[in-house]
Amino acid sequence: MKRMNKLAAIGAISILGVTVLAGCSSSDDAATDTATTSETSQMLPPVIITADQMDAVAVVGDMIDIVVDDPVNTVVAVDNPDVLEITQGSDDGSAIFNPGAKALAPGTAVISITSPDGSVRDVEITVS
């Protein structure tokens, strides 16, 4: 009987200690993490390029989303890779992603969009 009381007491103290530590650490860390995240990084919406657009403006760091009918079979290229980094459209099995670009540096670049039927259109992007 004495042994069972001793084990019960040890178990209760252990659970209490874990609960107190978990409560303190998660509360303080969550508040700090939330404040740090919201102050240092904000997700901006992408610059959307639609089928009828011939030009667009972006800021260094912006993502550019090129809306096309067939993302996987459309090919995009850029004439100035120092200004824009191109990403081809893709299908990862769970989602289909439009082609796009990331604005790397100030300047002007032309994105050539080649549709599956072979037609090409150019979009001039000015990055500041």
Residues 34 and 71 placed together within one structural domain of the fold:
no
Give the domain extent around 90.
Answer: 47-127
Query: Are residues 53 and 100 part of one domain?
Result: yes
Q: What is the tally of structural domains in the chain?
A: 2
pLDDT in tens, 98-123: 999 999 999 999 999 999 999 999 99
pTM attached to this predicted model: 0.67
Same structural domain, 84 and 123: yes
* Mean of all residue pLDDT scores within the chain: 81
**In a 3-state reduction of DSSP, which class is residue 21?**
helix
Q: Which two tokens stand for residue 40?
A: 């240092």
75: Cβ–Cβ under 8 A, 6 or more apart, which residues?
88, 99, 113, 114
Tokens of 24: 């303190």
